[in-house]
Structure 1
Amino acid sequence: MVFDFHTHTFLSDGALLPMELIRRAAVNGYQAIGVTDHAAPSNMERVIAELTKDCKLAEKYWPIQAIPGVELTHVPAGSIPELAAEARRLGARLVVVHGETLVEPVEPGTNLAAAGCKDVDILAHPGLLSLEAARLAAQNGVFVEITARGGHNVGNGHVVRIGRAAGVKFVIDSDTHDPENLLTDGWAQTVARGAGLDDAEVTAALQTNPLQLIERIHGR
């Protein structure tokens, strides 16, 4: 089974129609996919509405859970609580925040704001994650991403070291933009082990934690 909660379509900067992305994920053996296009106030309502339509249709006919969501991207750190709440109100079933990756000019403080917000599900590619932010994520039930995406993944080892000390729950995500970025079970395991997870942590990141996140989504 493959779980992946961070992907993009051509509704933002991905290559594929949402339906095609979901279909390719199903063929790759995905149990669940979060379709989380980049969003800010300008496009959030449209993105959530359009993703919801394709996700509902895909789930009706194919054996995959397709979860419509957003990745709040390059928004002011102070706006994250209100935007995450607005995304929920508009129907996003999954809220990801674009963390302070080492290769982009994300505003400092974004990791802390996301980790402290209970309307956020995942802090994505958080770069030089601080112990304070990691502890907040653990306290608030915000999952911390170990990413397969090139460039963003240079911080994975640091994220694991700090996140482990704070007791965070990790998930492995692809941050797919093109079809070749999609995970397979083998590649997800490679990403997890390459980040420094041990056997028990790999199982948690690939199975236990994704199932907990899905249970939370269905329980809302």
Structure 2
Amino acid sequence: MIDLHTHTVFSDGELIPAELVRRAEVIGYKGLCMTDHADESTLYFTVENVLRFVKKHGHFYDINILAGVELTHVHPALIAEMVGKAREAGAQVVVMHGETPVEPVAVGTNLAAIEAGVDILAHPGLITDEEVLLAAEKGVALEITTRGGHSYTNGHVAALARKYGAKLVVNNDAHAPRDLVGPDLRKTIAYGAGLTAEEYLQTERNAWEIVQRCMK
């Protein structure tokens, strides 16, 4: 299991990085990225602090940990610039808070994030055919999420990803200990979204590919 979308006390999560990593390690995760919410005002503070933890403490855990960021409610016109700033700040994985059906995310966020080449477009809601096709072309992974509310459109995302050959990853969007689901529930949610057993395994391979790219 690999989770590339989690939150700590550096945004709206309940756990400090050390506890989040330890809990994930005990559950059986082999890869974890901390991707706290950020905009222009918090980007550098968030990434630099989590990255410092990863660099100094990461090798003490039996789990690959990464420092990322989830750009959140950034105006579509500024997303490309913010993605560049996130990478300059040291974010190993750049996630974009997509057009989930349960939050007032600006229309155009999904498209702008894909065009900017984010690593993962989180909970993209009723993403369009054209956007999924572009994500496939640019190698942007789309998220199947275990998080309530955001998960309402998992089936739609899975179906379009299959149609156009876009990459999928399964993430928890964890904010609290209870959000780190175990392997059985993780599979159940993926299968409930319409993924086959092989497609689910491919989501894990897609996530591992991102981890390996970051670890080089």
Q: Structure 2 counterpart of 1:60, which letter?
A: H
Question: 2:211 matched to which residue of 1?
Answer: 214
Q: Which amino acid aligns with 1:81?
A: A
Q: Which stretches of structure 1, 4 residues or more, deviate above 4 A after TM superposition?
A: none
- State the partner residue of 2:92: 93
Structure 1 position 25 matched with structure 2 position 24: yes
With normalisation by structure 1, the TM-score equals 0.95
Structure 2 spans left out of the alignment, 5+ residues: none
Is 1:170 matched with 2:168? Answer: yes
Which stretch has the larger CA shift, 109-118 or 43-52?
109-118
SS in 2 for 1:146: strand
Answer yes or no: is the 8 Å Cα contact 1:11–1:37 preserved in 2.
Answer: yes
Q: Which amino acid aligns with 1:17?
A: I
Size of the aligned set, in residue pairs, is 216
Give deviations 1:50-93, integer Å, cap 9, x for gaps: 10122223322111111001000000011111101110001000
Q: Equivalences for 1:125-164 in 2 at 5 Å?
A: 125-164=123-162
Residue 213 of structure 1 and its aligned partner are, at CA, apart by 1.4
Q: Deviations over 1:155-210 (max 9, x none)?
A: 001111112111111000000011110132222211110110012111101x2111
RMSD: 1.0
**Overall identity of the aligned pairs, in %:** 45
Verify the 8 A CA contact 1:98 1:123 in the aligned structure 2: yes
> How far apart are the structure 1 equivalents of 2:193 and 2:137?
23
Alpha-carbon distance between aligned partners in 1 of 2:181 and 2:66, rounded to the nearest angstrom: 16
SS in 2 for 1:116: helix
Residues 1:48 and 2:26 are matched in the alignment:
no
CA distance in 2, matches of 1:32, 1:74: 26
Q: CA deviation at 1:215?
A: 2.4
With the length of structure 2 as denominator, give the TM-score of the two structures.
0.97
Distance 2:99 2:197 in 1: 27
**What SS does the aligned partner of 1:144 have?**
strand
Checking the alignment, whether the CA contact within 8 Å between 1:19 and 1:55 is kept in structure 2 is no
